[in-house]
Amino acid sequence: MIIENSNFILEHIASSGQCFRMNKIKEAEFSVIAGGKVLLLKQLEEQKVLLSCSEKDFKEFWKDYFDLDYDYEGIVGGLVTGEDEFLKKAAAYGYGLRILKQELFETLITFIISQRKSIPAIKRCVEELCQRFGERKTDTAANMVYYTFPSPESLGKAGKEALREAGLGYRDEYVRQTALAVAKGDIDLDCLKTLSYEEALKELMKLPGVGIKVANCVALYGLHQIDAFPVDVWIDRILKDIYSNKFDVTIYNGYAGIVQQYMFYYIRSL
DNA sequence: TACCAGGGTTCTA
DNA sequence: TAGAACCATGGT
């Protein structure tokens, strides 16, 4: 099926460092694995995308996953015509970026893995985990064999050696213990969705390997707390070098996380 | 070959 | 309480 939507550029979303299982297949064509499904996408025009799924799957899952009901055009347009010179350039450069609504457990584990790793290394590591501990599936429409993201149970009972072989390094125990906590019900991920931003951060940071930065990424990409503003080494450089540590995030109340995403994407291109 | 990566935890002063 | 040291591994 074909959908038309403004501010939806696959190239930018796939390389924005918020999801690690969206890959470029060839020019303008991408695959993404989420929710136990695989989807192929092709950018036909700036506002036109071809999807391999049925209309039913689109309505029930992918539309929400790509947050297609939210008006990014208004926000990004506001930044482009705003007064902040850096954000003007960032918004123009990253036009088409959206904040995905990813599954909570996958977001939690992948961002625990992300610490002190480059994006290509994270993607490789996540794929390795899926192949070792996920479920093997075949999609006839996409003509693809793929692996789902592992369940909390399968990661919780994974051996330390197997996790090391997947390239987790010292994060192996973080992943195992966190997966175990979810599997045993020591933390109720669904319950996090009912909490405020601050309360959710507090709960997330009780988990091993989850500090303030990872918790903010989980809040933004997994809980869709759109005001979350994760500060990693790149954002930290911007706050210091561009804004002399005087950046006022409260100006962007209601969409700070989107601002953060455009900053991150732009600074990495420089 | 060095250096760095969407950091967190623990130790030390 | 703030800052330094340490952690394992892949990409460039």
> Residues A71, A116: one domain?
no
CA distance A196 to A44: 39
> Residues A150, A196: one domain?
yes
Nearest nucleotide to A205, CA against C1' atoms? B8
Of A181, A198, A221, the residue that ends a domain is A221
> Residues A67, A147: one domain?
no
> Residues A117, A9: one domain?
no
A11 in any annotated domain = yes
Nearest nucleotide to A171, CA against C1' atoms? C8
CA distance A182 to A179: 5
Catalytic residue, from A26, A213, A240, A246: name it: A213
> Residues A81, A108: one domain?
no
Total domains in chain A come to 2
A229 in any annotated domain = no
> Residues A89, A109: one domain?
no
Structure tokens at A217: 């990424």
Domain containing residue A47: CATH number? 3.30.310.260
**Is the distance between the Cβ of A170 and the closest atom of strand C smaller than 7 Å?**
yes
Q: What pLDDT, on the 0 to 100 scale, is given for residue A38?
A: 98
Q: What pLDDT, on the 0 to 100 scale, is given for residue A142?
A: 86
> Residues A86, A127: one domain?
no
Q: Containing H/E element for A136?
A: strand A136-139
> Residues A69, A138: one domain?
no
Q: What pLDDT, on the 0 to 100 scale, is given for residue A247?
A: 96
Domain containing residue A201: CATH number? 1.10.340.30
A259 in any annotated domain = no
pTM, rounded to two decimals: 0.98
Q: Give A5 CA → B1 C1' in Å.
A: 47
Identify whether A213 is a catalytic site residue: yes
> Residues A19, A52: one domain?
yes
**Is the distance between the Cβ of A120 and the closest atom of strand C smaller than 7 Å?**
yes
Long-range CB contact pairs, A136-142, < 8 A, 24+: A137/A36, A137/A38, A139/A37, A139/A38, A141/A52, A141/A53, A142/A31, A142/A38, A142/A39, A142/A40, A142/A52
> Residues A111, A216: one domain?
yes
From residue A263, alpha-carbon distances to A32, A40, A44, A71, A91 in Å are: 24, 27, 26, 19, 8
A231 in any annotated domain = no
> Residues A55, A127: one domain?
no
Which domain does A118 fall in, by range? 104-221
A168 in any annotated domain = yes
Of A39, A65, A93, the residue that ends a domain is A93
Q: Which residues of chain A have pLDDT under 70?
A: none
Q: What pLDDT, on the 0 to 100 scale, is given for residue A141?
A: 85
CA distance A176 to A157: 7
CB neighbour class for A176 (10 Å; exposed up to 12, middle 13-18, buried from 19): buried
A235 in any annotated domain = no
A240 in any annotated domain = no
The sign of the torsion formed by the CA atoms of A187, A110, A210, A193 equals negative
A75 in any annotated domain = yes
Of A180, A206, A221, the residue that ends a domain is A221
> Residues A19, A127: one domain?
no
